[in-house]
Structure 1
Amino acid sequence: MTIDYRARISLIEQETARLAALAGDLSVPVPTCPGWTMDELVTHVGRLHRWTVHVLRERVQERIWPARIPLGLAEGGSVDAGWLVAGAAELLDTLRATDPELEVWTWGPDRRASWWPRRMLSEMVIHRADAELALGIDPVVPAEIAIDVIEDHLHNLPYASWVTRPLAELDVEGATIHLHATDAAGEWTITQGPAGRITWARGHDKGDAAVRGPVRDLLLLLYGRLSPDPLTVYGDRDLLNRWLTTAAL
């Protein structure tokens, strides 16, 4: 079942509320984002919210980096859960008022406003999981959402130049990696193509390396938040480790 535009907006709202509830002590280190504390994590997510609002409201047509977008803090102010929620509320209002077919800039392959809620949902799910892991909480991600975020990752990865360049240096063109969810109807085969770009397809196949496990774990694996060690791995483990380390967004 596909998650549609409006459903993704509602899920962004839920995920932001969950992250805000975790953002008490902002000095807590976030091991899955090396060098970050909860403060940096909250700042990053809140900046992404404001970046998306700017792109959609201004109908931006050329690349603009998130760092160029003001954080909306008073002089001497600092981020907190309230600041995060306020930015999310502005984002939600903007998404609900925007035609999904509106042509705007994205860093992925789709130049429509509908790209943004899917991408922001992915960001929220992963960073909520980061916060929970930092606090010793085992993240729960419903299978439908985990599948959507996995496919969003694979859909956009060929256009992430900061990833494709180092992938090209692995010199593994033609290699295949198969992911098999054991608790949901999800299987994907990733093929490493030229210039570091990948292609992927749903369905069962045999890869040079294959991983079986719960779909949530496959999601965290793809994003570099989980080692393959607790999962079932077949084939070329060295290839798998090198590819995963390089391909994590």
Structure 2
Amino acid sequence: MDNDRLRECLDEDYTRLRKVAAGADLAARVPSCPDWTVAELVDHVAMVYLHKVACMKFGRPQEWPPETGGEEPLPLLERAYGELAAEFATRAPSTSAYTWYEPDQTVGFWVRRMAQETVIHRVDAELGAGVPIAPIPADLALDGIDELLVAFVSYGSRAWAEDFADVLAPAAGTTVHIAAGERAWSVEIAADGVSVADASGGVGTGASTSIAGEPDDVLLWLWNRAGDGAVTTSGDPDALAAFRRVLVAATQ
């Protein structure tokens, strides 16, 4: 996805998140994030925005969480998004910026990451408020699947090997075929990390397990925001469970 499209999606999902949260009981629990209330979800999103603004401004890792001055959740979210949008408006996506993903040290990484962060937490807000989940555009969902598999699962399994140590060894040798829309990915789990390859056009023959569905359903399943009924799975159920444990390690 290009930068303009990502920013368009980011703005739409922020706007939806803000509207849903404003109409919700802020003390309600968020079923997809059971440790959080809606207010705590909103606080988290605001702090993520402020943290990334600081990463871009100062070009180095920043302490987490950022100082918020005790603002109420909704005004804090509005202020934080305003700062984030202003930062993106003044920096080209190719501009150098600190990120946690070593292969991409640019502002464009944060545009993509914040668009994907926001759509998932927009869904969390909808679940917490008990309102229908608004559609996720197919292009955003496909981009989100790719980002999760490549940056969080594959890169993360090697960059933060200690976080994956307990789940990789038991899953070593597992192969997963993921299909969504016209795209597909092949995932190979080894004891020392996960490899992800574009498998578009392939059928996934020989994979230990496979997952298929509409792009938004697959994205939400991978982020544990949708149950197994949202997608079609086949193959070894133990392999599927092993892959799920790898996903949890990648997204916690």
Common fold, TM-score beyond 0.5?
Answer: yes
Q: Retained in 2: the 8 A contact 1:187–1:202?
A: yes
**Secondary structure at the residue paired with 1:36?**
strand
**Secondary structure at the residue paired with 2:228?**
coil
Distance 1:86 1:127 in 2: 17
Tell me the CA shift for residue 199 of structure 1: 2.4
Q: Retained in 2: the 8 A contact 1:49–1:88?
A: yes
Distance 1:99 1:227, change over 3 A: same
Question: What's 1:220 paired with?
Answer: 220
Question: What's 1:159 paired with?
Answer: 155
TM-score by length of 1: 0.87
**Secondary structure at the residue paired with 1:224?**
coil
**Secondary structure at the residue paired with 1:26?**
coil
Q: Retained in 2: the 8 A contact 1:165–1:195?
A: no
Distance 1:194 1:65, change over 3 A: farther
Question: What's 1:134 paired with?
Answer: 128
Q: Deviations along 1:26-61, whole A, 9 cap, x unmatched?
A: 11110101211111110110011101111111222x
Distance 2:193 2:63 in 1: 23
Question: What's 1:4 paired with?
Answer: 2
Tell me the CA shift for residue 164 of structure 1: 4.8
The reply on whether 1:115 has 2:115 as its aligned counterpart is no
Q: Deviations along 1:172-192, whole A, 9 cap, x unmatched?
A: 2231111122xx212211111
Distance 2:86 2:187 in 1: 36
Distance 1:239 1:4 in 2: 35
**Secondary structure at the residue paired with 2:176?**
strand
**Secondary structure at the residue paired with 1:210?**
strand
Distance 2:79 2:229 in 1: 39
Q: Retained in 1: the 8 A contact 2:10–2:114?
A: yes
Question: What's 1:186 paired with?
Answer: 183
Residue type of the partner of 2:125?
Answer: A
Q: Deviations along 1:129-171, whole A, 9 cap, x unmatched?
A: 1111223323411111100111111121233369754544232
Structure 1 vs Structure 2: percent identity of aligned residues? 28
Question: What's 2:40 paired with?
Answer: 40
After alignment, is 206-215 or 229-238 more displaced?
229-238
Q: Retained in 2: the 8 A contact 1:154–1:200?
A: no
Q: How does 1:67-86 map to 2 (within 5 A)?
A: 67=65, 69-71=66-68, 73=69, 77-80=71-74, 82-86=75-79
Distance 1:30 1:163 in 2: 28
Q: How does 1:5-20 map to 2 (within 5 A)?
A: 5-20=3-18
**Secondary structure at the residue paired with 2:185?**
strand
Question: What's 1:173 paired with?
Answer: 172
**Secondary structure at the residue paired with 1:99?**
coil
The reply on whether 1:148 has 2:147 as its aligned counterpart is no
The reply on whether 1:210 has 2:205 as its aligned counterpart is no
Distance 1:77 1:43 in 2: 9
Q: Which runs of 5+ in 2 are unaligned?
A: none
Distance 2:212 2:82 in 1: 38
Q: How does 1:18-37 map to 2 (within 5 A)?
A: 18-24=16-22, 25-37=25-37
Distance 1:141 1:175 in 2: 30
Question: What's 2:96 paired with?
Answer: 103
**Secondary structure at the residue paired with 1:7?**
helix
Aligned length: 238
Tell me the CA shift for residue 100 of structure 1: 2.0
Q: Which runs of 5+ in 1 are unaligned?
A: none
